[in-house]
Structure formats: C-alpha cells, structure tokens
Amino acid sequence: MTRGFTLLEIVVAMAIAVIILTALSSIFIVQYNLYFLGSTSVDLNSSLTATLRAMEEFGTSARAIVNTRDFGGTNFTTSNTTLVLALPSVDPGGNPLPQTDYVVFFRDPVQGQKLWMQIDADATSSRRDLTKLFSDLTNILQFSYNKSNPAEATIVEVFVSLRKVAKGNPQETSGRTSIFLRNK
C-alpha cells in the first residue's frame, strides 16, 4: 500500500508556499516602484540637461537679447519667463552670415508646464524654422539679467525646475546656468 500526504502536511506545505509567494511578490512590487521612480528621475534630468544646453548654445552665439519679436503671428517679449535672442544666420558650414535668426525660450501661457523653444530662421540661413517642446513638466522657468533693460544685458542667469508626481511621490530636479553673450 502506498502512503500519500496527510491533510496536515498539505496544509503546512500550502502555508509555506503562500508565505514564499507573498515575500516574492512584495520584493517584485518594491523593485518595480524603485525602477519607476529611478526612470522618472532619469527622464527629468535628461530633459533638464537638454534644455540648459540648448539655452547655453544659442545664448553664447547670440548677437543680442531682443525686447520684442513676432514669431509667425505670436508676439514674444523678453521678461523673467521669456528669452528672445537674435543670432547670426549660419551657412551650411556653420559660418556666421550677416543676416539674423531669432530664437525664443518660453513657458506656455495656457499650459504652464510646457517649456518651448521656437526658431525663426532667415531665408538665407541653414537653420530651419522650428518649434520644439523641451518639457511638459516645467515647474519654474526664470531668467534674470545683469542690466535692468534685458536688451542691454550681457549675462543671463537661467533657473529651470522640473517636477513630476510618480506613484504619488513628487520628484523635482532643477538646474542653473549663466549665459554670457559673446557677440555683444
């Protein structure tokens, strides 16, 4: 006669299996949440880095800060939340031309978390007109100038803060840069 498992042995084995599965699922859930929070942090930092680099790149090659400029029917005025720059147009080799391209960095007035860059290129420039969304998680965008009239400024201090709530946890990253207008 073969002997099988008793009811008590089966119940004990099932209880041990439930404990092990509960522990494994807890570990899985914690690891998933950590991964999600980590990837959110990486996304925020990548967006912040790209934004600050673009501002530095265009700012350092700018001829001037412009008080007001019309971009395809939308008027932008340089302020503590908007930066309008006049840049030398460039040929296909990247050499400056006497004509002028314009770029604006601004926070969307309707959807305030969106941070945009828009380029209005001269017809002779190898740059092309462009509208680019840098972030839809903007918490703060602030420009400050070393002169009371921004058009006379030679230095622009930039502060950007991005914020996202992930899994109920708010995450924020911020960065600063100084733009020195070389061509002034």
Residues in the chain: 184
Q: How far apart are CA 181 and CA 18, in angstroms?
A: 66
Domain-embedded: residue 16? no
Pairing of strands 82-90, 68-71: unpaired
The rounded percent of the chain whose pLDDT value lies above 70 is: 97
Q: Tell me if 73 is assigned to some domain.
A: yes
Query: In terms of residue numbers, what domain contains 157?
Result: 33-180
As for how many domains the chain has, the answer is: 1
Which amino acid makes up residue 166? A
Q: Residue 72, SS3? A: coil
Which amino acid, residue 20?
Answer: I
- Other CB atoms within 10 Å distance of the CB of residue 41: 15
E-assigned strand segments in the chain = 64-65, 68-71, 74-77, 82-90, 96-107, 115-120, 130-135, 138-145, 155-166, 169-180
Q: Which of 103, 121, 111, 119 is nearest to 181 (CA)?
A: 103
How far apart CA 117 and CA 91 sit, in angstroms, is 21
Residue 14 lies in a domain: no
In a domain, 143, yes or no: yes
In a domain, 128, yes or no: yes
Question: Per-residue confidence at 92, pLDDT binned at 50, 70, 90?
Answer: very high
The answer to whether residue 149 sits within a structural domain is yes
Question: By three-state DSSP, how is residue 168 classified?
Answer: coil
Residue 8 and residue 16 in contact, taking contact as beta carbons nearer than 8 Å: no
Which tens digits make up the pLDDT trace of 123-170? 999 999 999 998 999 999 999 999 999 999 999 999 999 998 877 888
If you average pLDDT over residues 105-124, what whole number do you get?
93
Give whole-number Cα distances, 117 to 108, 160, 166, 172, in Å: 10, 14, 26, 21
Tell whether 19 is covered by a domain.
no
Identify whether 135 is part of a domain: yes
Q: What is the Cα Rg of the chain in Å?
A: 27
Mean pLDDT of the chain: 90
Q: What is the pLDDT of residue 1?
A: 59
